[in-house]
Amino acid sequence: MKICLAGPGAFGIKHLEALSNIEGVEVVSLVGHKLDKTQEVAKKWNIPHATTDLAEGLAQPGVEAAILCTPTQLHAQQAIQCLRAGKHVMVEIPMADNLKDAEELVKVQKETGLVAMAGHTRRFNPSHQWIHKKIKAGELKIQQMDVQTYFFRRTNMNALGQPRSWTDHLLWHHACHTVDLFQYQTGEIASQVFGVQGPYHPELKIAMDMGILMKVPSGAICTLSLSFNNDGPLGTFFRYICDNGTYIARYDELVDGKGNPIDVSKVDVSMNGIELQDREFINAIREKREPNASVAQALDAMRTLHRIEQQLLAQG
Higher pLDDT residue, 42 or 158? 42
Is residue 191 assigned to a domain?
Answer: yes
Percent of the chain having pLDDT more than 70? 98
Is residue 269 assigned to a domain?
Answer: no
Averaged over 146-161, what is the pLDDT? 83
Same domain, 94 and 14: yes
Same domain, 204 and 308: yes
**Helix (H), strand (E) at residue 145:** strand 142-150
pLDDT in tens, 183-194: 999 999 999 999
Same domain, 166 and 60: no
Residues ≥6 apart with Cβ < 8 Å to 316: none
Is residue 233 assigned to a domain?
Answer: yes
The answer to whether the CB of 128 falls within 8 A of the CB of 238 is yes
Is residue 265 assigned to a domain?
Answer: no
Banded model confidence at residue 154, pLDDT cuts 50, 70, 90? confident
Same domain, 131 and 250: yes
Is residue 296 assigned to a domain?
Answer: no
pLDDT at position 157: 72
Is residue 243 assigned to a domain?
Answer: yes
pTM: 0.95
String of DSSP letters for 127-141 = HHHHHHHHHHTTS--
pLDDT at position 153: 84
Question: In this model, does residue 165 exceed pLDDT 80?
Answer: no
Question: In this model, does residue 25 exceed pLDDT 80?
Answer: yes
pLDDT in tens, 72-89: 999 999 999 999 999 999
DSSP 235: E
The answer to whether the CB of 285 falls within 8 A of the CB of 278 is no
pLDDT at position 155: 80
Distances (CA, A) of 64 to 4, 85, 87: 8, 10, 5
Averaged over 116-128, what is the pLDDT? 98
Averaged over 95-104, what is the pLDDT? 98
Same domain, 107 and 175: no
Q: What is the mean pLDDT of the chain?
A: 96
Buried/exposed 47-70: b ≥16 CB within 10 Å, e otherwise: bebbbeebeebbeeeebbbbbbbb
| CATH number of the domain enclosing 24 | 3.40.50.720
Same domain, 141 and 72: no
Same domain, 116 and 130: no
pLDDT at position 37: 95
Buried/exposed 193-215: b ≥16 CB within 10 Å, e otherwise: bebebeeebeebebbbbbebebb
Same domain, 107 and 128: no
Is residue 130 assigned to a domain?
Answer: yes
The answer to whether the CB of 182 falls within 8 A of the CB of 213 is no
The answer to whether the CB of 14 falls within 8 A of the CB of 274 is yes
What three-state secondary structure class fits 36?
helix
Same domain, 20 and 166: no
Same domain, 307 and 201: yes
* Total structural domains within the chain: 2
32, amino acid identity: G
Can you give the residue range of the structural domain that contains 234?
122-259+301-315
Averaged over 159-174, what is the pLDDT? 80
Same domain, 160 and 249: yes
Banded model confidence at residue 159, pLDDT cuts 50, 70, 90? low
Q: Rounded to an integer, what distance in angstroms lies between the CA atom of residue 273 and that of residue 251? A: 8
pLDDT in tens, 230-288: 999 999 999 999 999 999 999 999 999 999 999 999 999 999 999 999 999 999 999 99
Same domain, 187 and 229: yes
pLDDT at position 160: 65
Averaged over 156-174, what is the pLDDT? 79
282, amino acid identity: I
Q: Rounded to an integer, what distance in angstroms lies between the CA atom of residue 212 and that of residue 182? A: 12
pLDDT at position 162: 72
| CATH number of the domain enclosing 193 | 3.30.360.10
pLDDT at position 158: 65
